[in-house]
Structure 1
Amino acid sequence: MSCSVPAVASRFARCASAWVKASQSRSNGSEADMKDVQDAKIGIVGAGAMGQGIAQIAAMAGLEVRLMDVNPAASGRAVAAIGSILDKLAAKGKLSSEQAQEALHRIHPEDSIGALSDCDLVVEAIVEKLDVKRSLFAQLEEVVRDDAVLASNTSSLSITAIAATCRLPERVAGYHFFNPVPLMKVVEVVRGLRSSDTTIDWLVSLARQLGHTAVRCRDMPGFIVNHAGRALNTEGLCIVQEGVTDEPTVDVIVREQMGFRMGPFELLDLTGLDVSHPVMESIYRQFYDEPRFRPSPITAIRLAGGMLGRKSGSGFYEYADTSTMSKSICAQGTAQWSTAPVWVSHRHPDEARRVLELLRALDVEVETSSEPSDNALIVVTPLGHDATTCAISEELDATRVVAVDTLLGFGNGSRRVIMPTPATTEEMLTRAQALFGIDGAPVSTLRDSGGFVAQRMIACIVNTACEIAQKRIGTPEDIDAAVRLGLGYPRGPLALGDHIGASRILAVLKGLLDVYGDPRYRPGVWLSRRAELNLSLGFSD
């Protein structure tokens, strides 16, 4: 059967008109919006971990919830599990026993789509298959009111694609929560190409009612959080694949130098490679093989071998023996310092100043001559470049050159990271390890590489976030909030870039591009322009 263009246009106009008319009550002012949200009835399809979590926070926010699953037993188990959680919260004094019982009584297990007919919002949290989600939304449109909002908790599928076969695509949006929902206080409100302002605004208001921070984003692969999170894992894998160091050393540097809660390999083991690797491949392919998101064969091989992480008992770490967590191939500095000549390169004056301030605080005398003496340890401070490049470009004796990472400074006894050239003698390397560990600070030694570990990871994290801002997938404020709350980073990526300095981040990326020639390190225009203009990375144009 065929249909003329005018007929299709007329049908679309009627549907749009019906949606606008039916939802006028949602757009008559903030007071009306808030009342509407407070009285909302929430339907949830899928009683797994995500559906259960959404049901819990909605009920605790005072909303009536209908939790539906094709398996009636699953809905019952989910309600029982929520009841147990609420009892534990009451026992800890987080809420009263009466509040716990009232919240539980607001959740009604259902076994049919028809039971959701009076809901103001239905959130699907089912299998990540486009055809299955489309089929569900078609069924929902047969039973819910025309002013009801339909939302998907998908983390990887296009909201536009899900809504494409809907009668009223204007009322369809993404509502992406994170697991565990009650603890991860952020939700991505994803605008499909046909999602209306009314739909998005209403979902944002509802998120506040649920006690979550709503971040608005366009319908693009990975939305904000999974898009921004590519840099940490893929760059960690790239570093190990290159042979710079091993997984435990990367993780300990990320925790103890960068200040993150977990390193990339700990995080991959926690999530499981059966989840993480397909997401890495999916986002890479959806962006048409963008080099910044290139996956690694390391995870592909481990996935094929069933070494998934914690869930399989074996991943990058063996969970029957946690002692492997502290092992590393690249040495930790343990040598004792004895007075010896030290010379610091001034090729990068600001970076040299950081080293000199540290050495003065440690009462270490430094040669002040323009060139090192014949027996001096030569310390260089590259941004993005490797120790070898420094030795050659500055015409230094490569057998005595050791590079130190200055990007994050040396405060509060944080871990220090150094690397020799391939020609550096064992004596000079031992001297450097002792020098930078003189006050008991931990020292990690890498093989020569562009950008150490922290420089590479931070530059990629910041650059990726800048690209998200440049593409208007989210505002700078929402990008920082989403990453901080959704990924647990100590700062949002744009705020992190401002803290370190956009010009220094740009220098790292240019150095990495010089060393590797890999377009994954090309600086984006958002970063480059703001660095050159001395503007905050959070500055919107």
Structure 2
Amino acid sequence: MTALNIERAVAVIGSGAMGAGIAQVAAVAGYTVRLYDTRPEAVAKAISDIAAALNKLVVKERMSAIDCAAAIARLHAAVTLPEVADAGLVVEAIVENLGAKRALFAQLEGMVGDDCILATNTSSISVTAIAAGLRLPGRVAGMHFFNPVPLMALCEVVSGLATEAGAAQTVFDTAAAWGKNPVHAKSTPGFIVNRVARPFYAEGWRLLNEQAADAATIDAVMREAGGFRMGPFELMDLIGHDVNFSVTQSVFNAYFQDPRFTPSVLQQEMVNAGFLGRKAGQGFYRYGDGAAAPQAQAEAPQPKPEYVSYTIEQGAASHAVGGVVVDALAARLRAAGIEITHRKTPETIRPVGAHDDAPAFHCNGAAIYLTDGRSATQRARDNHHADTVLFDLALDYGSAKRIAIARADQCSDAAFNAVVGLLQAAGFVVTRLDDVAGLAVMRTVAMLANEAADAVNQGVCSAAAADIAMQKGVNYPRGPLAWADAVGIEHIVRVLANLAGGYGEDRYRVSPLLRRKQATGGRFHE
């Protein structure tokens, strides 16, 4: 461990929510903290608020009274900036403005010792740019915490082009000593989290724009099937649409208008209307007394079909494409007492020129497939099977409350209702999405995995760091690359390739690293 010596003081510049949170975790970890702000009254309020928060932990028996008093005693208000001169680490948490940050670090260079590390809590500005022009740019690193700092476990440790490896490692080890889960990242737009998370919002907007379902229904599918704590629209309401739209624009422009990060016109309209979310009392949902929560779509009850079969292709390699996921759904059906006839499909009965049509379930004439990035209508045409229904990905089919499905335009009502009845008999709330390619959870997970793979491929972070960042920074139920491993990288590539072909957009281009993993049969995590 090369964490900052406990005898050295930590200075925090800026006493807003982020600065106060950083000061709190450092003090609780045993470090003397000097908190500075250009407004002394703001520092006094921050220290008072920290003391109140720690005393609440004592009341809840999550902290001892002795430890609480000791942590509060380690917090000191710095009335003037030179009072931080003895610090071994300075963490800047001021306004998100490059000029302001550069000016602050230029001042600090003339005050602190040459061995003092200068860290920036920036969420979007290049660490390379912040350090440029300093006498010792190698000691500048990003130390990006997430709000609220005392509760969120992640800390992105960001290295600019000039950042020395020793400085980055000290910041990493210090964050770990403060009880955080640090990850190393290279200074590129969005770092890890704000880059990799873009598809979670972007695919939600695409689904809404294509009228797959309303916002409440998409949110419910992402929560109750995908296992996310919040769906994209309720999360954007919480963040604030102005903030979320601004970050999306920033990443889009920083990557020179890469179509993968294209902002949504619909979100721009939300911002123009002032429908910013919780803070405005209205976003996709209304907030305040008496505000009724909209209900997600669910299919009416249907009878259980009399006969169900589970078909696999001849040969293990073909079955491996999506087979693990389909097997998981089959296990849920069997656990519900549904008898399934298991058979293999001889090559002789597969329509000439048809796409692989297994693994699949069959009931009352319906063919039921895991989505592969084509619409159900296209798949029905490709397979010469009009009564085609697709089902979406779920985090855990054994415990998922809801499942999303889509029917081909050619599909009969009788066949579709049989599929609904089958899934309802297994205990699912069944939600029908309009026939959009990739459905909701699958296309979102595929795009998250694609972006994470590109970040790894471009040296921004390791595969482990990408997954830790998304789980600890935004509470994803599983790291995107671990999810790709679980679904099967070949299937993820197929989904993305079909989306790219269907839309004709570079937005869905497949990461070269995913292609490499597919070619070798490799995984991101062994």
What TM-score, normalized to structure 1?
0.87
On the 8 A contact 1:469/1:479 being kept in 2, the answer is yes
User: Structure 1: how far apart are the matches of 2:229 and 2:33?
Assistant: 34
Q: 1:186 to 1:405 in 2, by over 3 A?
A: closer
Unaligned runs of 5+ in 1: 1-29
Count of matched residue positions in the alignment of Structure 1 and Structure 2: 503
Residue 394 of structure 1 aligns with an amino acid whose one-letter code is: N
1:320 aligns with 2:295: no
Does residue 1:332 correspond to 2:307, yes or no?
Answer: no
Q: Does 1:435 align with 2:422?
A: yes
Given candidates 214, 225, 238, the residue that maps to 1:257 is: 225
Q: Percent identity?
A: 36
Aligned AA for 2:473?
G
Query: What amino acid is aligned across from residue 474 of structure 1 in structure 2?
Result: C
Instruction: Give TM-score, length-normalised by structure 2.
Output: 0.90
Quote the residue 1:132 is aligned against: 100
Tell me, what secondary structure is at the counterpart of 1:37?
A: coil
Distance change (3 Å), C-alpha of 1:143 and 1:391: same
Q: For residues 422 and 339 of structure 2, what CA distance do their matches in structure 1 show?
A: 8
Find 1:500's aligned residue among 460, 469, 487: 487
User: Structure 1 residues 104, 382: CA separation in 2 closer, same or farther (over 3 Å shift)?
Assistant: closer
SS in 2 for 1:412: coil
Q: CA deviation at 1:481?
A: 1.4
Note closer, same or farther for the CA distance 1:322–1:493 as it changes in structure 2 (3 Å cut). Answer: farther
Q: Identify the match of residue 209 of structure 2 among 223, 236, 241.
A: 241
Equivalent residue for 1:269? 237
SS at match of 2:184: strand
Change in Cα spacing, 1:52 to 1:375, as seen in structure 2 (3 Å) is closer
| Letter matched to residue 366 of structure 2 | L
Letter in 2 for 1:438: A
Per the alignment, residue 199 of structure 1 pairs with 167
Q: 2:374 and 2:396 mapped to 1: Cα distance? A: 17
Q: Give the alignment of 1:375-394 within 5 angstroms.
A: 376-394=365-383
Alpha-carbon distance change, 312 to 346 in structure 1, aligned in 2, over 3 angstroms: same
Determine the structure 2 residue equivalent to 1:176: 144
Who is 2:354 aligned against?
none
Per the alignment, residue 153 of structure 1 pairs with 121
Distance 1:507 1:117, change over 3 A: same
Q: CA–CA distance in 1 between the matches of 2:305 and 2:132?
A: 72
C-alpha displacement of 1:430: 2.9
Residue 214 of structure 1 corresponds to which residue in structure 2? 182
Is 2:484 the counterpart of 1:509? no
Deviation readout 1:32-79 (Å, 9 max, x if unpaired): x45x52222111111000000010011111111111111111000000
**Unaligned stretches of 5+ in structure 2?**
351-360
Are the structure 2 counterparts of residues 373 and 248 from structure 1 closer, same or farther at C-alpha, using a change threshold of 3 Å? closer
- 1:535 match: secondary structure: coil
Residues 122 and 150, structure 1, Cα contact 8 Å, conserved in 2? yes
Contact 2:204 2:218 in 1 (8 A): yes
- Residue 404 of structure 1: CA displacement? 2.2
Matches within 5 A, 1:23-422: 33-34=2-3, 36-320=4-288, 324-328=292-296, 331-339=297-305, 349=319, 351=322, 354=327, 362-363=337-338, 370=349, 376-397=365-386, 400-405=387-392, 410-422=397-409
Change (3 A) 1:306 1:104: same
Whether 2:486 is the aligned partner of 1:520: answer no
Aligned twin of 1:14? none
Offset of 1:408 from its aligned partner? 5.3
Q: Distance in 2 between matches of 1:258 and 1:322?
A: 29
Query: Residue type of the partner of 1:230?
Result: R
Aligned to 1:462: 449
What is the identity, as a one-letter code, of the residue corresponding to 2:192? I
- Measure how far apart 1:222 and its partner are: 0.7
Tell me the SS of whatever aligns to 2:61: coil
Kept in 2, the 8 Å contact 1:344–1:380? The answer is no
What is the rounded CA distance, in whole Å, between the counterparts of 1:116 and 1:226 in structure 2?
31
Residue 474 of structure 1: CA displacement?
Answer: 0.8
SS in 2 for 1:136: helix
Write the letter of the residue equivalent to 1:463. Answer: N
CA distance in 2, matches of 1:374, 1:114: 76
- Offset at residue 429 of structure 1 (A): 3.0
Helix, strand or coil at the partner of 1:143 = coil
2: CA distance between counterparts of 1:138 and 1:406?
51
Distance 1:339 1:219, change over 3 A: closer
Aligned-residue CA RMSD (Å): 2.5
8 Å CA contact 1:45–1:51 kept in 2: the answer is: yes
CA deviation after TM superposition for structure 1 residue 341, in Å: 6.3
CA contact (8 A) 1:343 1:377 kept: no
The farther-off stretch of 127-136 and 197-206 is 197-206
**How far apart are the structure 2 equivalents of 1:80 and 1:48?**
13
Aligned to 1:335, what secondary structure does the other structure show? coil
The CA distance in 2 between the partners of 1:186 and 1:242, in whole Å, is 34
- Is the Cα–Cα contact under 8 Å of residues 489 and 518 in structure 2 kept in the other structure? yes
How many Å separate the matches in 1 of 2:182 and 2:399? 35
Structure having the larger proportion of residues in helix: 1
Q: Is the 8 A contact 2:311 2:342 kept in 1?
A: no
